Structure 1
Amino acid sequence: MSDLGSDGHYPEQAGIDAYGNGGFRFAGMSHRGSLLCLPTGMFAWPVTVPAEITMESLAPVFAVADDIDVLLIGVGPDIAAIPRELREALRERRVIVEAINTGSAIRTYNVLLAEERAVAAALIAVDKVR
């Protein structure tokens, strides 16, 4: 169940308090499904597997790329490669991309956010926490 509202958006960037069971907890609410954490807020993200990470699914990231230094992509429970052309397109926008498992992405995102760094995260929901 999502508390993100009918538009699937929470208006502020927030740290992730918990994850697993197919969703995330942040800002005192819960969201089932994958999540984009951007400087413009938290957004429901329809991606469920790494193969769905495309230029189109990351369009909201590209829209705010000038405000991001680092994009952490949580690819689920395991490691998966991000297409080279996607990495290159983000690099052209001066965004560093790190694709790692969702748990590691959340931990790194929370640290960088607490340090007030220009960080964003694209997180595929996972069922089990490792």
Structure 2
Amino acid sequence: MRVDRDRPAAGPLVRGFGAGGFKVDAPDGTMGVYPALLLTATRADGWSPPALAALDEAALAPILAGPLEFILIGTGAELRRAPRTLVAALEARGIGVETMDSRAAARAWGILRAEDRQIAAALYPLEA
């Protein structure tokens, strides 16, 4: 699937996704494809995520720096719940958690960044 927007957001944008992963435009004009992905307003990095049940702050450390309103967690092909301990730890830091399937999270990323929202994202692979 290809994802387009009328008003591009600053920073990396997910331009499409499929079985191979997430296609991302970087601010420097390069394109990358990542099976799993960590996103901030300025970076897109490949990620080797733990099993969702083991997801913790340490696994998200690269995207926790700076002011954040919330983190999008894309749980793969299907919506699953993030660990309650992770949600509680992030909320204690003033960071909200929005969990959805990875396709929805990739689409939401561009919309929210176009609004200049201070967010980060962790997207699990679409295929196991």
* Worse-matched range after superposition: 42-51 or 116-125: 42-51
Give a deviation string over 1:37-80, Cα, whole Å, max 9, x none: 01341111101642342222112233x1x421121000001111
Relative to the length of structure 1, the TM-score reads 0.78
Q: Distance in 2 between matches of 1:93 and 1:41?
A: 22
Q: Please, which runs of 5 or more residues in structure 1 have no aligned partner? A: 1-11
With normalisation by structure 2, the TM-score equals 0.79
Q: Percent identity?
A: 31
**2:108 corresponding residue in structure 1:** 108
Q: What corresponds to 1:85 in structure 2?
A: 85
Aligned partners of 2:63 and 2:89: how far apart in 1?
Answer: 11
| Aligned length, in residue pairs | 114
SS at match of 2:58: coil
Q: Which residue of the other structure, out of 22, 25, 34, is the alignment partner of 2:23?
A: 25
| Paired letter, 1:22 | G
> Taking structure 1 as reference, are residues 49 and 37 closer, same or farther at Cα in structure 2, changes over 3 Å only?
same
Q: 1:84 to 1:44 in 2, by over 3 A?
A: same
Shift of 1:123: 0.5
| 1:85-114 Cα deviation digits (max 9, x unpaired) | 110111111111011100111111110001
Q: Is the 8 A contact 1:67 1:118 kept in 2?
A: yes
| Equivalent position SS for 1:19 | strand
Question: What root-mean-square deviation, in Å, do the aligned CA atoms of Structure 1 and Structure 2 show?
Answer: 1.8
Say whether the 8 Å CA contact 2:12–2:42 is kept in structure 1.
Answer: no
Structure 2 unmatched runs, 5+ = 1-9
